Amino acid sequence: MDLKKYLSRNPKGLKWLVHLYNRTAGFNSIRRGKNRICVGASLLKRTKIRISGEGNTVVFSDWSALFHCAIQITGNYNRIEIGPDCVLRQVELVIEDDGNVISVGKGGRLYGPTQLAAIEGTKIFVGEDCLFSSGVKIRTGDSHSIVNMDGNRINPSEDVVIGEHVWLGTDVLCLKGTRVPGHCIVGARSLVNRAFSEENCILAGVPARIVKSEVDYLCKRL
């Protein structure tokens, strides 16, 4: 029987082959400690995972693929979820502190070098069918404290939410509190630092603003 036809009819066999590749030919480096990593039928190639802490969970849904990626968790009870049919190339996922979440929805295409970093119990949600060009950075916090003259901190970390079918252009920077609605495009080298509510628009600039409405994008060229 043709191998391709056999595997299409026997997903368990395909999962076994993917698992075998990850263990023997993927050149991956994984240190999980007392934490949970669920790879399933996801392909990992030259991917490095380092987890320090306890109660952390990393889940790769079936048929996702990570190439030359890095995952680093320092803290407890954090969660990273990669949805099915995602492709990540040269993407770094970084979590510090406790109770953070990084989630990438089904069918995402994230190309690097790109970094998603969550700290201080915040969340990064990337909706389904998103496209990230190279050089994208998403950060939920500043990593250092800014205080007023009374010594009170004034820069708390905040969640970042990217809607479904969003295209982030080259070198886009999304800071704490960012909300990009579904079916939006963010122009190259833009800085997004607040919540937007209008779908189907183009955001561009430093800081980003709406420059065009009633648009969408297709991955294929017409």
Q: What is the pLDDT of residue 81?
A: 98
Q: Which amino acid is at 92?
A: E
Tens digits of residue pLDDT in 9-62:
666 777 778 878 888 888 999 999 999 999 988 999 999 999 999 999 999 999
Locate the domains of the chain by residue range.
Answer: 28-213
Write the CA distances from 195 to 67, 181, 187, 219, integer angstroms.
31, 9, 16, 25
CATH number of 28-213: 2.160.10.10
Q: What is the pTM of this model?
A: 0.93
| Per-position b or e across 160-185, b if 16+ CB within 10 A of its CB | bbbbbbbbbbebbbbbbbbbbbbbbb
Is residue 84 within 8 Å of residue 108, measured between CB atoms?
A: no
Is residue 83 within 8 Å of residue 62, measured between CB atoms?
A: no
Please tell me the distance from the alpha carbon of residue 162 to that of residue 184, in angstroms, as a whole number.
9
Is residue 180 within 8 Å of residue 174, measured between CB atoms?
A: yes
- CA atoms in the 13 A half-sphere facing the CB of 28: 26
Please tell me the distance from the alpha carbon of residue 20 to that of residue 217, in angstroms, as a whole number.
38
Write the CA distances from 221 to 7, 186, 217, 218, integer angstroms.
32, 18, 10, 7
Peptide bond into 207 cis (omega under 30): yes
Q: Which amino acid is at 25?
A: A
Question: Does pLDDT of 64 surpass 90?
Answer: yes
**Residues 180-192, mean pLDDT to the nearest whole number:** 99
Tens digits of residue pLDDT in 115-132:
999 999 999 999 999 999
Is residue 49 within 8 Å of residue 69, measured between CB atoms?
A: no
Query: Where does the pLDDT of residue 7 fall: very low under 50, low under 70, confident under 90, or very high at 90 and above?
Result: low
Would the CA dihedral through 36, 55, 71, 116 be positive or negative? positive
